[in-house]
Amino acid sequence: MAEKTAKKEIFPLLPLRGLLVYPSLVLPFDVGRDRSIKALEKAMVGDSLILLVSQEDGQVDEPGEDDLYGVGTITRIKQMMKLPNGTIRVLVEGVHRAVVEQFVRTEGWFEASVSARPDPDEIPESNELLALSRSVLQQFEQYVKLSKKIDHDKLAAVSDISHPGRLADAIADHLPLKIKEKQELLEAFDISSRLEKLLNFLSDEREVLELERKIHQRVRKQMEKTQREYYLREQMKAIQKELGDREGRQAEVEELREQLLKKSVPEKVRERIDKEIDRLERIPVASAEGTVVRTYVDWLLALPWAQEAPTKVDLGRAEKLLNDEHYGLDKVKERILEFLAVQKLTDKQSGPIICLAGPPGVGKTSLATSIAKSLGRPFVRVSLGGVRDEAEIRGHRRTYIGAMPGRVIQGMKQAGVRNPIFLLDEIDKMASDFRGDPASAMLEVLDPEQNRTFSDHYVEIPYDLSDVMFITTANNVYEIPAPLRDRMEIIHISGYTELEKLDIAKRHLLPKQKDKHALPGAKIRVSDEVLLELIRHYTREAGVRQLDRLLASMCRKVARIVASGDKQRVTVNSSLLHEFFGPPIFHHGRVEEMDQVGVVTGLSWTEVGGDTLMIEVSVVSGKGKVVITGHLGDVMKESAQAALSYIRSRAHTLDIPSNFADLVDIHIHVPEGAIPKDGPSAGITMATAIASALTNRPVSHVVAMTGEITLRGRVLPIGGLKEKLLAAHRAGVTKVLIPHENEKDLRDVPDSVRQDLSVVLVKHMDEVLDEALLDTSINYPNPLFDADSTAIHNIPTTDYLEEGAHQ
Ligand code: ADP
């Protein structure tokens, strides 16, 4: 082919912009310039051969001869297509190189005469060429790999070319060379030098590519680096903050470790605390869990695990202290000393637990304090009043927010030793509800079998309570849950008599208050009469709590007078007392002033001591209805029914119609209706009141009574005799009727009280009525009587069988 065209000398010429066509390569391009189109047309008219020469500067629109390179490519036009925009798309195939000899036409289009420079078809084999071609191919392969712009098919096609000249051209065509460089390769007619040049370009390109890659990588790395740095910096900030706080945490942990080191604790506990401290160390400072663990560790460290107070029991000292600090209470003190003696012998708290039972203000707490003082052991007091949640005894699990150990463990922390005297106040006031049974938890606390390993939900580690000396107090032992009560040795402390109160006030309360208010003896004087007045008319209690409060108040008032400089010393007399506390609040002797029908003084016993209890009965026309009012409990109501049944059975002896129940309504009322009352001990009182109301025989107002009644009239024993008699005494009663079986309890009643009271022991209701009902009859409105007080209904004349009388 080359030979054929080589002979021809003149070709139409088409200047190429930014393009170059190598021989044997096919290339499409668009032609828009007039001159070029004309050249194409010229070629098409001939043999479709056209000379393509690149412009040196692609920007030049109308190139002249000088704008064109001197070497071009003779190409064959394979296809021509007119595009809608007027340009022509041509597909050409390079034929051979040609040197422009001379421009023969420049008007309209270019035509030039050329000398052809085709590559020889056959090239003599030479090692140099072979080596060059191989390295060109190799470099090209690497270039392809790097550039990623040329696909592998093209690489394969190029590799197949065996002609070194064409190989060079094909590769040159694929390289992104400048036109100038491409032209250089076109002008390299010698194949070896063409390959060499190409090799240079290739390696340059490769280098460029390599550099590009590196730059790219560097840029990417840079990007990654900045990004990473950003993250790291953020992390660093967090870490630094953490570290800052960490230092604090570290110091905290060290301090805890030191504390632990100094503290003597059982090995197991030490391990646990150690573990918790380790845990604390690992917890992020910001985490709320840290506080939880810290509080827990603090608790474990604060608890006395091994610390002990000396356990020597000095009975002599104990006795002296008890006597010094408490007036009277001989039996109680004796019991306490016995208890302590046993302690001394066994050296362990294994026996029952003391329960000091009695009304408020009788010195239960202060006795317990004295016990602790005499034993030289720390004293803690925990009130159980109103505790209804088991968790209050046993603590909350740590999973709860704000969880705390129970009161027992809290008490132990407060005590600071493992063997304190632990007062559980008002153990009878614990209630149980849906939140668990605090009593059963308490049982575990008090049971020596179980309290060795007392488990508090919060502490988790079993705590040994076996060395603790528990003392409990209660107002009403019957309210203590039975299993707990069984564990206790109950020591009853009953109320005080007036004289006892006077002594307590003189010897203990007043001196204590004087001390507290910085009033030496000389500054305040209070005579016994005034104290007694205070006791009688301003307090009404079994204990001395209110009295103590009044004395404190009195001292304050006196201190004020002394401090104001008005007086150097103050003698509190009756009128000053009135000035201080107003007119008397209670009237000594609350019993009725006169004998009345249907009104009887009973004696009751409550948690706050004994008291008098009025019972009123009135009878009105009716149909046998019985009304009972005054906030009475079931037991008391039943007791009223029993009393009524008894009276019905005694109608004959009492001179009342046996069918009275069909004629009248009976109303039984116990005044002070707001106060709930219960218990069977008002049985005989109610029976007496009913009998009095039905018979119109008044009841002696100086008589008071207490006793349970059976249907047959038997009088059964009652509890709290001492308190009741003290109350009767306080109230100015002179005669009391008590069940015969309570005789033994009279020993407990102070002589001063017994001297003033005539106590009648009764076995049967008949005796009660004999003692209480007066023989006269009062004209009191009663449907069973006429205006002149004679019975209007016939008394049945049939023989009346006395049931169970005088058993
Ligand atoms: P309780 O615990 O029984 O309710 P407290 O122990 O609180 O009563 O006693 C109240 C006050 O009365 C205390 O100041 C206490 O010292 C004093 N007290 C009670 N009984 C006596 C007593 N027998 N001798 C001296 N002081 C007493």
Query: In the chain, what is the straight-line distance between the N-terminal and C-terminal CA atoms, in Å?
Result: 161
Check residue 402 and give left, alpha or beta (phi > 0: left; psi -120 to 50: alpha).
Answer: left
What sign results for the dihedral spanned by CA atoms 254, 259, 263, 267? Answer: negative
Lowest mean pLDDT among 66-80, 300-314, 599-613: 599-613
State the Cα–Cα distance between residues 395 and 456, nearest whole angstrom: 6
For residue 117 the two structure tokens come to 């420079």
Angle at 629 between CA 627 and CA 631, to 5 degrees: 145
Q: How far apart are CA 186 and CA 183, in angstroms?
A: 5
Q: Percent of the chain having pLDDT more than 90? A: 29
When the pLDDT of each residue in the chain is averaged and rounded to a whole number, the result is 85
658, pLDDT greater than 60: yes
Query: What is the model's pLDDT at position 4?
Result: 45
Residue whose CA is at the smallest distance from ligand 1 atom 21: 363
Q: Is the dihedral of CA 19, 24, 25, 28 positive or negative?
A: positive
Query: 366, 384, 473, 507: which to mutate for ligand 1, most atoms within 8 A of CB?
Result: 366
What is the number of H-type helices and E-type strands within the chain?
A: 27, 22
- Most confident option among 169-183, 220-234, 561-575, 674-688: 169-183
In this model, does residue 42 exceed pLDDT 60?
yes
| Cα 23 to Cα 75: distance, rounded to the nearest angstrom | 7
- Which one of 182, 514, 523, 724 is the catalytic residue? 724
327 lines ligand 1 (CB under 6 A): yes
Whose Cα sits closest to atom 25 in ligand 1? 326
What is the C-alpha separation between 72 and 16, in angstroms, rounded?
Answer: 10
By most ligand atoms within 8 Å of CB, the mutation choice from 362, 497, 502, 551 for ligand 1 is 362
Per-residue pLDDT, 691? 92
* Ligand 1 centre distance from Cα of residue 545 (Å): 7
How close is the Cα of 134 to the center of ligand 1, in Å?
119
Helix ranges (H only) for 148-190 are 152-160, 164-174, 179-187
Residue 429 CA to ligand 1 centre (angstroms): 20
Question: Ligand 1 center to residue 326 CA distance, Å?
Answer: 8
Query: Does residue 78 have an active-site annotation?
Result: no
Task: Pick the residue whose CA is nearest to atom 20 on ligand 1.
Answer: 363
C-beta pairs of 387-390 under 8 Å, 24+ apart in sequence:
387/429, 387/430, 387/431, 387/438, 388/430, 388/431, 388/432, 388/433, 388/435, 388/438, 389/433, 389/435, 389/436, 389/438, 390/435, 390/436, 390/437, 390/438, 390/440, 390/441
pLDDT at residue 378 tops 50: yes
Does residue 456 register a pLDDT over 70? yes
- What token pair was written down for 651? 């109608």
Give the pLDDT band of residue 1 (cuts 50, 70, 90). very low
Q: Choose the weakest-confidence range: 324-333, 378-387, 390-399, 782-791.
A: 782-791
Place of tokens 């070319």: 161
pLDDT score of 244 more than 90: no
- The pLDDT confidence band at residue 345, using thresholds 50, 70 and 90, is confident
The protein residue whose alpha carbon is closest to atom 24 in ligand 1 is: 326
Interval between CA 614 and ligand 1 midpoint (Å): 30
Is the confidence at residue 381, as pLDDT, over 60? yes
pLDDT at 552: 93
The residue behind tokens 């003599």 is 124
Q: pLDDT class for 807, splitting at 50, 70, 90?
A: very low
- pLDDT for position 197: 92
Instruction: Give mean pLDDT, residues 771-785.
Output: 79
DSSP 96-142: EEEEEEEEEE-SSSEEEEEEEEPPPSS----HHHHHHHHHHHHHHHH
459 touches ligand 1 (CB under 6 Å): no
The protein residue whose alpha carbon is closest to atom 17 in ligand 1 is 363
- Nearest residue (CA) to ligand 1, atom 27: 363
pLDDT at 242: 67
Strand partners, 492: 357
Q: Ligand 1: does its nearest atom lie under 6 Å from the Cβ of 544?
A: yes
Q: What are phi and psi of 384, to 5 degrees?
A: -100, 0
Could you tell me the distance, in angstroms and rounded to a whole number, from the CA of residue 322 to the centre of ligand 1?
Answer: 12
pLDDT at 663 over 90: no
Q: Which atom of ligand 1 is nearest to the CA of 367?
A: 6
Over residues 303-310, mean pLDDT:
89
CA dihedral over 546, 552, 557, 558, signed as positive or negative: positive
Is 38 among the catalytic positions?
no
Judge whether residue 568 has pLDDT over 90. Answer: no
Which residues are 82's β-sheet partners? 88
Please tell me the distance from the alpha carbon of residue 692 to that of residue 647, in angstroms, as a whole number.
Answer: 10
57 by Cβ neighbours in 10 Å (0-12 / 13-18 / 19+) ranks as exposed
- What's the pLDDT tens digit per position in 16-38? 998 899 998 888 999 988 889 99
- pLDDT for residue 432: 66
Rounded to 10 degrees, what is the CA torsion of 459, 460, 462, 467? 20
Burial of 368 (0-12, 13-18, 19+ CB in 10 A): buried
Q: How far is the CA of 321 from the centre of ligand 1 (A)?
A: 14
| 544 Cα–ligand 1 center, Å | 7
Between the CA of 385 and the centroid of ligand 1 the distance, in Å, is: 18
Inter-residue contact 387 to 393 (CB < 8 Å): yes
Nearest CA owner, ligand 1 atom 19 = 363
Band of residue 583 on the pLDDT scale cut at 50, 70, 90: confident
Region for residue 378 given its phi and psi (left: phi exceeds 0; alpha: psi -120 to 50; beta: otherwise): beta
pLDDT of residue 523: 81
- The answer, yes or no, to whether any atom of ligand 1 lies below 6 A from the CB of 365, is yes
Confidence of residue 796 (pLDDT cuts 50, 70, 90): very low
Decide: 362 in ligand 1 pocket, CB within 6 A. yes
pLDDT at 6 over 60: no
The whole-number average pLDDT for the span 777-791 is: 67
Which among 336, 372, 379 has a CA at the least distance from the CA of 354? 336
pLDDT at 608 over 80: no
* Residue 153: pLDDT over 80: yes
Q: Using CA atoms, how far apart are residues 806 and 525, in angstroms rounded to an integer?
A: 57
588 pLDDT band (50/70/90 cuts)?
low
- Specify the pTM: 0.60
Residue 651 pLDDT greater than 50, yes or no: yes
Q: Judge if the beta carbon of residue 364 lies within 6 A of ligand 1.
A: yes
Contact, 807 vs 710, CB < 8 A?
A: no
Per-residue pLDDT band for 452 (boundaries 50, 70, 90) equals confident
The pLDDT score that the predictor gives to residue 51 is 93
Sign of CA dihedral 543, 545, 548, 554: negative
Contact (Cβ atoms closer than 8 angstroms) between residue 349 and residue 343:
yes
Q: Does residue 348 carry a pLDDT above 80?
A: no
Q: Is 548 in the pocket of ligand 1 (CB under 6 A)?
A: yes
Ligand 1 site, residue 361, Cβ cutoff 6 A? yes
CB 441 within 8 A of CB 390: yes
User: Per residue in 283-304, pLDDT tens?
Assistant: 877 777 888 898 999 999 999 9
Tell me how far apart the alpha carbons of residues 75 and 96 are, in angstroms, rounded to a whole number: 7
Residue 469, pLDDT > 80, answer: yes
The number of the ligand 1 atom at minimal distance from the alpha carbon of 545 is 10
Q: Is the pLDDT of residue 802 over 50?
A: no
Atom of ligand 1 nearest to the CA of 360: 4
- Whether 803 has a pLDDT exceeding 50, the answer reads no
Q: Give pLDDT tens digits for 472-484.
A: 999 888 888 888 8
Q: Assign 433 a pLDDT band (cuts: 50, 70, 90).
A: low
| pLDDT for the residue 5 | 46
For residues 117-123, average pLDDT:
86
Phi, psi of 701 (to 5 degrees): -75, -10
21/293 Cα distance (integer angstroms): 84
Catalytic residue among 370, 374, 494, 681: 681
In angstroms, the Cα distances linking 467 to 298, 393, 471, 634, 688 are 23, 18, 13, 44, 55
